[in-house]
Structure 1
Amino acid sequence: MNDTINLLMNHRSIRSYKPDPVTDDQLETIIAAGQMASSSSNVQAYSVIAIRDPKRKAQLSELAGNQRYIVECPVFLVWCADLYRLEKAVQQHAPEQESYTDAVENFIVATADVTLAAQNAAVAAESMGLGIVYIGGIRNDIEGAAELLGLPELVYPVYGMCIGYPNQEPDLRPRLPLKAVLHHESYDTAATEQSVKEYDEQMSNYLSVRTAGTRNTPWSALMAQKFTTPSRMQLKEFLDKKGFNKR
């Protein structure tokens, strides 16, 4: 164990923040650390929009399902997969050639790139004593969010991120057993299924303690509910309109 691993192993999602500001220097350092994440072929297919304006945060909070911590946090980041400037590079240097910016492969590259950068930034923020929480709800009304943020073609908001000084210390949430996610040489379905059974019991106990006995639903039952409930079904139409995944 070392300081970096200890930091990673103690990650918690923070949903309550002190009013202390995140300075410009802190923000720029956090984003610069994000930029040092691995990037496929150095395309760096992402952009980040920092929101401090209370009115704009309130608008984004409403679009994301009225999550109060978006308003409460001193700075809200919107992490976007961004192929716009790459398409502009094609138009500048190879206007006579067919562009494949709209291919599914490049959609995956951009989504992976922004995720790697965001996680680097999250760790950098936590190393400064700040807390973060990812906000997938930015995709609830993705068209409204994109319009509010002025996102051009080939840019979409993947998630938001609240950043600020924690005003809470939540318990660590248990993760799946390591053997459920670490396979050697080939995928082990038996180990996966056994690990889920073990994790169901662990999470049932965790929820029971956390909710004073009012909830003890196993993890697999929660996941079955999640994946049999339609969610954000408008995304495909939005991504089509933004020029993604045409081939």
Structure 2
Amino acid sequence: MIPMTQNSTIKALTSHVSVRDFTSEPVSEADRNAIFEAARASSSSCFLQVVTVIRITDPEKRRAFVKLTGGQRHIESAAEFWVFCADYHRCEAMTGKALDLGWTEQLMVGCTDAAIMAQSAMAALESLGLGGVYAGGIRNSIEEADRLLGLPENVIPVLGLAFGHPAYRNELKPRLPREALLCENTYREPDPALLENYDRELARYYETRSRSPKKDSWKAGIERILLRERRPFLLAYLQKKGFGKR
């Protein structure tokens, strides 16, 4: 067994599961504010702070997001649904100048900062006994999401976060072993035997979990999802919004 320091933060992070079933209990204002303040304190590349969070409370917009994500009903049933956007429009508003935007590096910074901020929010809400799940599916119909959010040029939605009081938590899903993820000094080619063993472990998890057992595996998921989630319209959308032009 690998020796590991434990505290409440590490225990919470290593116990993470996605939650899609929520009670009708609202998230208190105090908890909601604490979650946002934890997210707001996140690291930001060069302290540009190029993230805007939009909290969706309008029931019609919630239902619209369910539809454009392909039927993710938890977006409507969760107490809270927040969308994290990469936002360079605020930079131009602050300086009063047309800045040198459109670089791929700026796109990477905006998406990275949005993901860091969303993860801080997830860690905070789980520390309060809440549960949540990310919604990358908002990019399935990204132009419609953009319209719903009223986003100006140089602002794009990156991901959503639905959260609330859990009605049900899945068992902890096995992750790739550390030997497959952690390298030292240089990249190490994946060990086929290690990956095959993990594939079998995850298949057993899917077959034996207490809710919605199924026959599936990590390998099958890779093949299925990388074909499904290509979203070929994204490049044209990003360039129209002022991102990834060069």
Question: TM-score normalised to the size of structure 1?
Answer: 0.91
CA distance in 1 between partners of 2:24 and 2:50 (Å): 33
Partner of 1:149: 149
Give the Cα–Cα distance (whole angstroms) in 2 for the partners of residues 21 and 9 of structure 1. 26
Partners of 1:20 and 1:165 within 8 A in 2:
yes
Matched residues in 2 for 1:153 and 1:212: separation?
Answer: 43
Equivalent residue, structure 2, for 1:236 = 235
Give the direction of change, closer, same or farther, for the CA distance of 1:163–1:25 in structure 2 (3 Å limit).
same
Matched, 1:15 2:15: no
Structure 1 residues without counterparts, runs of 5 or longer = none
**Alpha-carbon distance between aligned partners in 2 of 1:163 and 1:32, rounded to the nearest angstrom:** 16
Say which is worse superposed, 138-147 or 225-234, in terms of deviation: 225-234
Distance in 2 (CA, whole Å) between partners of 1:210 and 1:241 is 44
Write the letter of the residue equivalent to 1:236.
Answer: L
Cα deviation per residue 1:128-155 (whole Å; 9 max; x = unaligned)?
Answer: 1111100111111110111011011111
Shift of 1:214: 6.9
What is the identity percentage for the equivalent residue pairs of Structure 1 and Structure 2? Answer: 37
> How far off its partner does 1:167 sit?
0.3
Report Cα offsets for 1:140-173 as digits up to 9, x if no partner.
1110111011011111111111110000021111
Query: Could you say which residue in structure 1 is the equivalent of 2:38?
Result: 33
3-state SS in 2 of match to 1:148: helix
Moved more, 182-191 or 81-90: 81-90
RMSD: 1.9
- Aligned 1:65-144 pairs, distance under 5 A: 65-90=70-95, 92=96, 95=97, 99-144=99-144
2 CA distance for matches of 1:28 and 1:166?
19
CA gap 1:229/1:54 in 2 versus in 1, 3 angstroms: closer
CA offset at residue 87 of structure 1? 2.7
* Aligned amino acid, residue 84 of structure 2: W
- Counterparts of 1:215 and 1:71, CA distance in 2: 25
- 1:189 aligns with 189
2:22 counterpart SS class: coil
In terms of mean alpha carbon deviation, does 53-62 or 36-45 score higher? 53-62
Please report how far the alpha carbon of residue 217 of structure 1 lies from its aligned counterpart in structure 2 after TM superposition: 3.3
Q: Do the aligned residues in 1 keep the contact of 2:180 with 2:190 (CA within 8 Å)?
A: no
TM-fit CA distance, 1:226: 2.1
Deviation at 1:100, TM superposition (A): 2.5
Q: Point out the more displaced range, 180-189 or 194-203.
A: 194-203
Q: Helix, strand or coil: the match of 1:116?
A: helix
The question of whether the paired residues in 1 share the 8 Å contact of 2:133 and 2:162 is answered with yes
2-side partners of 1:202 and 1:213: how far apart? 17
In the TM superposition, structure 1's runs of 4+ consecutive aligned residues that sit over 4 Å from their partners are 211-214
Match of 1:168 in 2: 168
Task: Structure 2: state its 5+ residue gaps.
Answer: 1-5
Per-residue deviation at 1:25?
2.5
Deviation of residue 195 (structure 1)? 2.7
Q: CA separation in 2, counterparts of 1:212 and 1:125?
A: 23
> Is 1:53–2:53 an aligned residue pair?
no
Cα distance per residue 1:64-110 (max 9 Å; x no partner): 112111111111101111111113334x2xx4xx7322111111011
What letter corresponds to residue 129 of structure 2 in structure 1? G
SS at match of 2:21: coil
SS of structure 2 residue aligned to 1:66? coil
Listed one character per residue, the Cα deviations across residues 200-246 of structure 1 (whole Å, up to 9, x for unaligned) are 11112112213899744331232022223463221111111101011
Deviates more, 1:45-54 or 1:218-227: 218-227
For 1:113 and 1:74, how far apart are their aligned partners in 2? 24
TM-score for the superposition, normalised by structure 2:
0.92
Paired residues, number: 241
- What SS class does the counterpart of residue 67 from structure 1 fall into? coil
One-letter amino acid of the structure 2 residue matched with residue 122 of structure 1: M
In 1, the alpha carbon distance for the partners of 2:7 and 2:232 equals 43
Q: Which residue is equivalent to 2:3?
A: none
